Amino acid sequence: MNSKFLKKATLALTSLAMLSSLAACATTSRGGDSAATNLQKGDLIGISMPTKADQRWNVDGANLVRELEDAGFKTKLAYANNSPSQQSTDINNLVSAGAKAVVVASVDGTAVGPAVKQAKDGGATVIAYDRLIMNTDAVDYYVTFDLERTGILEAQTIIKRLDLENGGGKDTPYNIALFAGSDDDNNAPYFFKGAWDLLKPYFESGQLVDPSGIVTKDFKNEDWKKISVHAWDQSQAQKQMDAIMTKLGDKPLAAVLSPYDAISLGVMKSIKNARPDMTPTIPFDSKNPTNKSAWPIITGQDGMDIAITNIHFGAQEQTVFKDISKLSKQTTDLIESISKGETLKSDNEPMNNGNKDVPTWLMQSDELVKNPTGDQKGLDYVVETGFITEDQYQKDIKAPIIE
């Protein structure tokens, strides 16, 4: 064959290969962000959950595996035992196993940054699940619930039950204990802001008082870590409540703002130990605010089994329930759209993680109570949404409270 022809053919093939390579590396704008386009149906999706110790994360993991596999993807699921270092290792292992996308519900939204950066550099799409990953450019998308709505629903329950809008606490200020979520969880300040924006006016008016002295009318949203419960830990919440109960003494306690059912349980155990005279059979009544034996109005979040039990028997007033099947469905929809090369656009405003505005999809949560009115849901809604089985629900409403 002619040597000049061979040289031209080689150059043509080289150019074609370069064009193909460039096409394979091209990125498509998706709602103001860029993500790798090499994700295809049948690819492996890595799922990194924080812990198996909490009921909801087990359900989240199972939901994601089912939804993604039904959509034609392979999955690999890892649990980090609430360890940031273990989660970083898990993410690295998922990418090494060939994951073209990683879905990360972070243990620590900052600590996991370097691991997702490595994943992103390795060509994987990174989706922050429920908790935003902070201070990195390596997050492509964020799927969560309307975070402030959680605190809003909790605060509204307290305001209504204490009749604050009609002057409850004007003559005799009501004692209230306030808790915020874990200091390493980016969701926690949003939960607190939603509640504090509504409760602060009643501190300013003198209707609400924190017996610990930490929260006053001058307390700001950015002060939330002063009342945070690290790792959302029940035992830590109980210790913090022990200190509050010591300062409360024998005075009535009207309410407890708790952002999570396990924190609520720790609070209840503390109250039970410090003040055995207080009983859930006598709920706090704004018409009789001096009754020292009255049980406080206690909020919560996540629809845990123990919360269903405690709400049924009156020890907890409500729980903000997030139908987490919505998260897995939205996450699967995003991954499917990416695999098709479609442009992704959210109706919600992006959330800033300290480095970038991350395209965000927000789901709506619901409030569960024993006797629902208006937009509230009954306790059996956890069965309707598939969060627990009917058999488990029946066990919940027959189980002993505060255990």
The CATH number that applies at residue 116 is: 3.40.50.2300
**pLDDT at site 55:** 85
**pLDDT at site 252:** 98
**pLDDT at site 8:** 36
**pLDDT at site 37:** 55
User: Do 298 and 350 reside in the same domain of the chain?
Assistant: no
User: Do 375 and 358 reside in the same domain of the chain?
Assistant: no
Binned at pLDDT 50, 70 and 90, residue 38 comes out as: confident
Q: Is residue 26 part of a domain?
A: no
Q: Is residue 10 part of a domain?
A: no
**pLDDT at site 54:** 86
Q: Is the pLDDT of residue 20 over 60?
A: no
**pLDDT at site 215:** 98
**Is the whole-model pTM more than 0.85?**
no
Q: Is the pLDDT of residue 273 over 60?
A: yes
Residues 6+ apart with CB under 8 A from 290: 172, 252
Whats the size of the chain, residue-wise?
Answer: 403
User: Do 97 and 243 reside in the same domain of the chain?
Assistant: no
Number of domains in the chain: 2
Q: Is the pLDDT of residue 386 over 80?
A: yes
User: Do 48 and 135 reside in the same domain of the chain?
Assistant: yes
Q: Is residue 3 part of a domain?
A: no
What is the average pLDDT value for the chain, to the nearest integer?
91
Question: % helix / strand / coil in the chain, to the nearest 5?
Answer: 40, 20, 40
Q: Is residue 114 part of a domain?
A: yes
Q: Is residue 1 part of a domain?
A: no
What value does the mean pLDDT take over residues 106-111? 94
**In whole angstroms, how far apart are CA 367 and each of 34, 160, 186, 260, 364?**
36, 14, 22, 13, 10
Q: Is residue 201 part of a domain?
A: yes
* Tokens found for residue 100: 């073209």
What value does the mean pLDDT take over residues 218-241? 97
Q: Is residue 341 part of a domain?
A: yes
CB of 190 closer than 8 Å to CB of 180 = no
User: Do 314 and 336 reside in the same domain of the chain?
Assistant: no
Range of the domain at 225: 147-322+371-394
